Structures are given as structure tokens and as C-alpha cells.
Amino acid sequence: MRLELDAGNTRIKWRLVANEQVVKRGSDLQGQLAEVSDWLAAQKQAIETCWVSSVHQAQNQWILAQFPLSQFAQSQQDQAGLKSSYADASRMGVDRWLAMLAAYSTAPNEAHIVIDAGTAITLDVIQDQKHVGGYICPGLHLMKSSLLGNTQQVKAESVWQLGREPGQGTQACLDHGILDMVCSWIEQQASIYPQARLWLTGGDAQRLEPLLNRSLVLEPDLVLNGLMVYFSSHS
């Protein structure tokens, strides 16, 4: 039995795997700890290892205290046939590397565009078994909170009105403006690599997916899937 953790900027996504089948999962381990702590405690004897993707160093000590068997993935220069574009691979967020590994491993000879729509939105391009490069932009909620926090006349609720057409009220104007801007950018990048397989993951993936005019693979567990590729190929 194996515990897999994806510690992002705001929460720790997790799943428990037995015989390569997911038996339990959650989106916020620290927030759900009171709810699942007894259940996890009962499983600890059976948990043989804990694989971790972490971009939040402050959470690492907590993870180690809870799960001493934790093994932390790190971005690599060259792994499983995929080469990084970074001169110093350690400076790439490990979640980006793992998401790319997961996508790349499904079809190593194809091009891939990997989008993780979380606190930040990252977009990475893989072609000819190489990471061509990528982008890091503010996530949907960061864009919205930044605008609302720095303007006095623009007022909107935290909930989202989904759409891309011109809004007919401040809420729709704001929400549709952000969503259309992000979707247009993704579609423009996809048009540069028309043969690429488009992957979408992250907390806002389901919000963006129906608005994109492009076929794609929606995979909520892309980073966690990358842990299997990583530890299977990492010596």
C-alpha cells in the first residue's frame, strides 16, 4: 500500500493506492485530517511508502512528522527519456516536472502541452522528447482578487459566472474577461503546436475545460500519476 501526496501552494492532495488501484483520495489532507486521521492511523502499518510532490517547503516537516517513510520527488535534468530545458533543473517546480512526466509517458513520441490551473497557471510544451519551455501566470483566483483588491468601483462576488461572451453586468464582465483571456492564451499556444496532445489539471481545470475550443485530456491526478513514472525511473 502506498500513500501519494501532492503538496501545492494551498493544500495537500492525496490518494492511497493498493495493488495499483486507488482505494481512497482527498483534496485537502490537512483540512481533512480530523475526518480521516483514525482511518489513516489504521492503515499506517500497511502503508509501505509515501511518495511526495511538494512545492511548499513549510509543509515538508509536517508531512515527515505524519509519514516518516516519505520520499520527496525532485525535478530532474533528464528522466525516462524526457529532457528539461532548464539549465538548473532543480529550479523547476517539481509539480510541473511530474505533470510533464505523466503526460509524456503516455506517448513519448508525440508533442504535449501540459496546463496546471491552480494558484498559478503553468503551461509547458514537450516536443521531440524535450521540454521546449513554459509559462507561469497568475491563477484565476489571483487575477480576480488582485483586481478587486486594487480597484474601488469594480465589485464582484467570489463565485464565478462561467462564460466567454461579453458580460452584461460587472460580475460577468470581470469573470468572463478573465476566463476568456486565459482560454484565448491557451488556444493560441495550442495553435502553435497543432499536433500536440493538450492536458489540463489543477483546481480550476474543470472550470476551464468546457470553455476551451480544443479537444483535451482532463486529468485531475496528473501530478500524482507522475510520481509513479518518477519513482519507477529514478535510481
Active site residues: 95
Instruction: Give me the DSSP letters along the chain.
Output: -EEEEEE-SS-EEEEEEETTEEEEEES-HHHHHHHHHHHHHHHTTT--EEEEEES-HHHHHHHHHH-TTEEE----SEETTEE---SSGGGS-HHHHHHHHHHHHH-TTS-EEEEEESSEEEEEEEETTEEEEEEEEE-HHHHHHHHHHT-SS----SS-----SPPSSHHHHHHHHHHHHHHHHHHHHHHHSTTSEEEEESTTHHHHGGG-SS--EE-TTHHHHHHHHHHHH--
Using DSSP's 3-state secondary structure scheme, residue 84 falls into coil
Contact 185, 57 (CB under 8 A): no
Closest of 235, 234, 184 to residue 214, by C-alpha: 184
- N-to-C CA span, the chain: 21
